[in-house]
């Protein structure tokens, strides 16, 4: 699963605005290193050294999308002309099925929730202040 550039950038911006930008891996290599360190960690729990809020938030959103859309979602996302981005796809499905006139529902809210969860998590690890 992957996000479109727009949703990826939005998530990144959100993470930065919460002051967690410093923990985002600077390169794919670093991200890979963090992920494998996280997998090797006792209990699979991330620590200060493996914490990557961007990756974590992304995975939280894709997991949630799978919970909502079921395993069939994976197939839908790989079927052109459907968007590959789960947020874009679910938005499209919503708009097609929605009967509410002038509906402003958006899955983009998930980006904010996922980013906020990472902030709470970082606080619980004591790697960012309460401010
Ligand atoms: Zn998208
Ligand atoms: Zn709606």
Distance 8 CA to ligand 2 centre (A): 23
Residue 131 lies in a domain: no
> By the 8 A CB rule, do 9 and 111 touch?
no
Distance 91 CA to ligand 2 centre (A): 9
Residue 98 lies in a domain: yes
Q: Rounded to an integer, what distance in angstroms lies between the CA atom of residue 11 and that of residue 17?
A: 10
- Total number of domains in the chain: 1
> By the 8 A CB rule, do 122 and 53 touch?
yes
pTM beyond 0.75: yes
Distance 106 CA to ligand 2 centre (A): 8
> By the 8 A CB rule, do 118 and 65 touch?
no
Q: Rounded to an integer, what distance in angstroms lies between the CA atom of residue 88 and that of residue 91?
A: 5
Residue 55 lies in a domain: yes
Q: How confident is the model at residue 47 (pLDDT cuts 50, 70, 90)?
A: confident
Residue 21 lies in a domain: yes
Distance 43 CA to ligand 1 centre (A): 32
Over residues 107-121, the pLDDT tens digits come to 999 999 999 999 999
Over residues 63-96, the pLDDT tens digits come to 999 999 998 999 999 999 999 999 999 999 999 9
């Amino acid at each position: 699963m992957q996000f479109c550039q727009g949703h990826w950038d939005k998530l990144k911006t959100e993470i930065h605005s919460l002051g967690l930008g410093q923990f985002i891996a600077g390169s794919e290599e670093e991200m890979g290193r963090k992920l494998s360190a996280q997998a090797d960690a006792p209990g699979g729990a991330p620590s200060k050294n493996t914490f990557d809020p961007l990756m974590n938030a992304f995975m939280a959103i894709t997991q949630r999308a799978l919970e909502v859309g079921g395993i069939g979602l994976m197939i839908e996302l790989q079927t052109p002309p459907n968007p590959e981005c789960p947020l874009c796809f679910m938005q499209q499905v919503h708009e097609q099925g929605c009967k509410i006139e002038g509906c402003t529902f958006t899955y983009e809210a998930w980006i904010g929730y996922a980013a906020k969860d990472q902030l709470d998590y970082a606080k619980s690890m004591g790697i960012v202040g309460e401010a």
